[in-house]
């Protein structure tokens, strides 16, 4: 069975990198004359040569986003169910070797968190766990979805990669989307940061979106963790992945996230810095590449940055997020995965979005659509 791996193997990291860093202002000007932006053009738009054209990129990105998504921002909220994890990821607060108290929410605790989140207004929820199959495996996730599906119209998960049949089980229960970031598409760097645990298997992770596509999921979220390696090269591979998936699993919707490394318990410093301007350039380049892809922004980013990027191509946002299990009410002091940056409450974010002329959308799905 063919998968993204076949395409991935046709590219060489260093060659891609060399190319991205070799473009000139003339190349950028040529691309900006085009209506359709190819993957090759995308490489030009994320290159250092495109930096001086950032205002031009931003204007185009904003116009395309408004046309396709209108004046709306979709809201979602993460709910961490567990910080137990058998993996060692050098940059993550939940990493196995971090000596922290571990916690997995019980049914009762989940419902307490749900009640709190609901009164904030949220209807799209993202469930997050570490990877610990004995405690938070498929059975736990299935139960969690069953437990909350009458409370939320749209349920996504960000958990360990699963097998196709396991995804099918969860989709049957009402799962809408799965976010699975490759972290980095550089095999060697990946190995350095994921030395132990199931996550150390680069190829299994790389083929996860294929398994999701085959399982018939409604939406797949892609991304790379910026800071592990060169963001430009990683973003090219992410876009390559996106285009492959769109062609292969054409009934599935896609979203892109932009996590930049944040301080946490493990304290790994970013290897390659990504500035605010870099991130804006990347967001706009994605929009020019694809008018329809959802671009998502979490609370990892600062207030000022978030206030401004909703005008540049971002279409969905979280707010008031807690990245620790039970963080909303049950156990506010449990250890978080990473420190969020924008700590403003939901109402403040809502007001900020509205003041910029956007409608805040809470509900854009109905669970009845997912029923078998």
Partner 1 sequence: MTDTLKIADKTFRSRLFTGTGKFSSSKLMQEAIIASESELVTVALKRVDFHSEYDDILMHLKQDHINLLPNTSGVRTAKEAVFAAQLAREALQTNWIKLEIHPDPKYLLPDPIETLKATEILVKEGFIVMPYIHADPVLCKRLEDLGAQCVMPLGAPIGSNKGLITKDFLKIIMEQSKVPVIVDAGIGAPSHAAYAMELGADAVLVNTAIAVSKNPVQMGIAFKMAVQAGRLAYQAKLAAVNQYAEASSPLTSFLNE
Residues lying near partner 1 in the complex (CB under 8 A) are found at: 66-72, 123, 153, 246, 250-253, 292, 354, 357-359, 361-366, 368-369, 371
Q: Measured from the CB atom, is 51 or 66 closer to partner 1?
A: 66
Q: Are 331 and 324 in contact (CB under 8 A)?
A: yes
Site of tokens 């996504």 = 156
Rounded distance between C-alpha atoms, residue 53 and residue 32, angstroms = 9
* 3-state SS, residue 125: strand
Q: In whole angstroms, how close is the CB of 288 to partner 1 at the nearest point?
A: 15
Q: Measured from the CB atom, is 42 or 338 closer to partner 1?
A: 42
Q: Are 80 and 324 in contact (CB under 8 A)?
A: yes
Q: In whole angstroms, how close is the CB of 72 to partner 1 at the nearest point?
A: 6
Q: What is the largest CA-CA distance in the chain?
A: 60
Q: Measured from the CB atom, is 77 or 261 closer to partner 1?
A: 77
Rounded distance between C-alpha atoms, residue 285 and residue 43, angstroms = 9
Q: Measured from the CB atom, is 82 or 370 closer to partner 1?
A: 370
CB atoms within 10 A of CB 345: 11
Q: Measured from the CB atom, is 67 or 99 closer to partner 1?
A: 67
Q: In whole angstroms, how close is the CB of 68 to partner 1 at the nearest point?
A: 6
Q: In whole angstroms, how close is the CB of 356 to partner 1 at the nearest point?
A: 9
Q: In whole angstroms, how close is the CB of 121 to partner 1 at the nearest point?
A: 10
Closest among 221, 239, 223, 210 to 183, alpha carbons compared: 223
Q: Are 290 and 315 in contact (CB under 8 A)?
A: no
């Amino acid at each position: 069975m063919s998968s993204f791996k076949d395409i991935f193997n046709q590219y060489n990291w260093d060659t891609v990198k060399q190319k991205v860093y070799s473009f000139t202002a003339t190349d950028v000007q040529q691309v900006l004359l085009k209506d359709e932006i190819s993957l090759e053009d995308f490489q030009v738009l994320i290159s250092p040569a495109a930096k001086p054209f950032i205002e031009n990129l931003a204007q185009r990105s904003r116009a395309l986003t408004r046309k396709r998504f209108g004046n709306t921002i979709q809201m979602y909220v993460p709910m961490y169910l567990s910080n137990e994890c058998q993996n060692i990821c050098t940059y993550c607060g939940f990493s196995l070797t971090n000596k922290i108290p571990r916690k997995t929410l019980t049914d009762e605790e989940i419902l307490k968190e749900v009640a709190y989140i609901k009164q904030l207004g949220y209807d799209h929820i993202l469930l997050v766990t570490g990877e610990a199959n004995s405690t938070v495996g498929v059975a736990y996730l299935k139960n969690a979805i069953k437990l909350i599906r009458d409370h939320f119209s749209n349920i996504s998960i960000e958990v360990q990669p699963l097998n196709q049949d396991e995804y099918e089980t969860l989709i049957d229960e009402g799962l809408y989307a799965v976010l699975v970031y490759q972290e980095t598409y550089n095999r060697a760097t990946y190995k350095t940061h994921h030395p132990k645990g199931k996550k150390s298997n680069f190829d299994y992770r790389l083929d996860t979106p294929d398994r999701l596509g085959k399982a018939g999921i409604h939406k797949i979220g892609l991304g790379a963790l910026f800071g592990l390696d060169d963001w430009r090269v990683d973003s090219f591979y992410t876009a390559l992945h996106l285009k492959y998936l769109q062609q292969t699993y054409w009934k599935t919707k896609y979203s892109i996230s932009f996590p930049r490394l944040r301080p946490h318990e493990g304290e790994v410093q970013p290897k390659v810095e990504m500035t605010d301007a870099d991130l804006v350039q990347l967001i706009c380049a994605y929009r020019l590449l694809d008018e329809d892809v959802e671009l998502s922004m979490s609370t990892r980013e600062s207030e000022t940055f978030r206030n401004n990027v909703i005008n540049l191509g971002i279409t969905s946002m979280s707010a008031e997020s807690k990245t620790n299990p039970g963080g909303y009410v049950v156990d506010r002091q449990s250890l978080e995965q990473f420190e969020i940056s924008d700590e403003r409450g939901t109402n403040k974010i809502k007001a900020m979005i509205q003041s910029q002329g956007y409608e805040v959308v809470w509900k854009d799905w109905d669970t009845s659509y997912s029923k078998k």
